[in-house]
Amino acid sequence: MENIPQGAYVKDLNNELSPYVGTYKANYKANEITLFITKEIDRPTKLMNKNFYNDVLSIRYIVKNSSGIVLQNTQSMNLNAQSNFNILSMGTMPELGQVALSYDGTNCGVGWGQINLKKLNATQISWDYYPNNTILDEATCPSGTDTTVYLPHTKGLVFTKQ
């Protein structure tokens, strides 16, 4: 990606992203997590001061507690490059059957890090989430802001396609 020309298009030529598309559910620590994974074609991207386009997986999600109360819902949020909550693929690891995604974090960027998904079979994926442990700078986050990371901080959590 270091040598990518301005305005280039990085296409998913081998269709490595499509097998992950769908709605998946899992339970973790009494919460139900629903992932809505879509494939975005020709998404504008900026990386290392270069503007280009690429095909990516994008994840929106809903987390509910055991009483069915929604703790966090990004499905209806208007997410863009300046938003938190974005979960977008960075690349695939076909030899491992995995895709790596970046997570911008929740409010104030808390919990940003990497998520790896591995295709287990036609209906299941495995989730590994590696959050950054940076301490929140109180000055940049308004008092009272919910900075809870509701996504499951774990390795090997199995999500089942709905």
Query: Tens digits of per-residue pLDDT, 79-103?
Result: 655 567 889 999 999 889 999 999 9
Strands 9-10 and 50-64: parallel
pLDDT for position 151:
96
Task: Measure the CA–CA gap between 100 and 92, rounded to whole angstroms.
Answer: 6
Task: Measure the CA–CA gap between 73 and 14, rounded to whole angstroms.
Answer: 32
Query: Tens digits of per-residue pLDDT, 22-72?
Result: 999 999 999 999 999 999 999 998 877 889 999 999 999 999 999 999 999
pTM of structure: 0.90
